[in-house]
């Protein structure tokens, strides 16, 4: 359930669009280190800035605000696939690089995340007042899979063309042996 919510493709692309908006909207592309200023920037200010940016086509971050407010987010071109990974563990990145070169960097986004750290080991107080490791009590916690996601997103205007291109060229793009032959 955790990965279905926090690593869902639509949620991930909205994070990317929000980052793109903030880089354009914020002074010098980043939050100030001035604490008083930083404490004044709440979700309300960001949401207001998004609404304003949608209305005013000359405002900084206009294109990204439209993607968020009007739900015109980039679409999934491809995502982590076990068949592709057997051929090349970096398959999604290869697809991203090739798509970016073909369709332009402004039309393609890449998202990758692999969980770091180990299993969640924390102390548990048992009914007999002893403290034991969570891993000794839970078979499930001991066997949690590592979360790993890869997405390549494309601007909706290019989705049809990009999907067709990927269908025709996937194997030659992700096959590292063929990459060397070029």
Question: What's the CA gap between 67 and 13, in Å, rounded?
Answer: 10
Question: What's the CA gap between 152 and 168, in Å, rounded?
Answer: 17
Q: Which of 63, 90, 85 is nearest to 74 (CA)?
A: 63
39-73 pLDDT per residue, tens: 888 999 999 999 999 999 999 999 999 999 999 99
Cite the beta strand spans of the chain per DSSP E.
Answer: 75-79, 108-114, 123-125, 131-133, 148-154
Mean pLDDT, residues 89-93: 94
Q: Are 16 and 152 in contact (CB under 8 A)?
A: no
CA distances from 6 to 70, 120, 144 (A): 21, 18, 16
Mean pLDDT of the chain: 90
Mean pLDDT, residues 25-33: 89
Domain 75-182 has CATH 3.10.20.740: no
- The domain segmentation of the chain, as residue ranges, is 1-73, 75-182
116-155 pLDDT per residue, tens: 877 788 999 999 999 999 999 988 888 887 788 999 999 9
């Amino acid at each position: 359930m955790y990965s279905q919510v926090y690593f869902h493709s639509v949620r991930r692309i909205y994070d990317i669009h929000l980052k793109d908006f903030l880089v354009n909207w914020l002074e010098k592309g980043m939050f100030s280190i001035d604490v008083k200023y930083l404490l004044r920037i709440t979700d309300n200010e960001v949401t207001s800035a998004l609404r304003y940016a949608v209305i005013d086509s000359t405002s900084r971050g206009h294109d990204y605000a439209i993607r968020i407010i009007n739900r015109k987010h980039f679409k999934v071109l491809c995502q982590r696939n076990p068949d592709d990974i057997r051929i090349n563990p970096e398959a999604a990145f290869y697809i991203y690089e090739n798509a970016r070169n073909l369709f332009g960097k402004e039309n393609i986004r890449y998202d990758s995340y692999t969980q770091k750290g180990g299993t969640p080991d924390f102390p548990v107080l048992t009914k007999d007042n002893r403290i034991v490791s969570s891993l000794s009590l839970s078979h499930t916690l001991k066997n949690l899979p590592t979360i790993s996601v890869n997405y390549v997103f494309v601007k909706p205007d290019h989705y049809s063309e990009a999907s067709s291109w990927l269908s025709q060229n996937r194997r030659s793009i992700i096959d590292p042996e063929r990459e060397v032959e070029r």
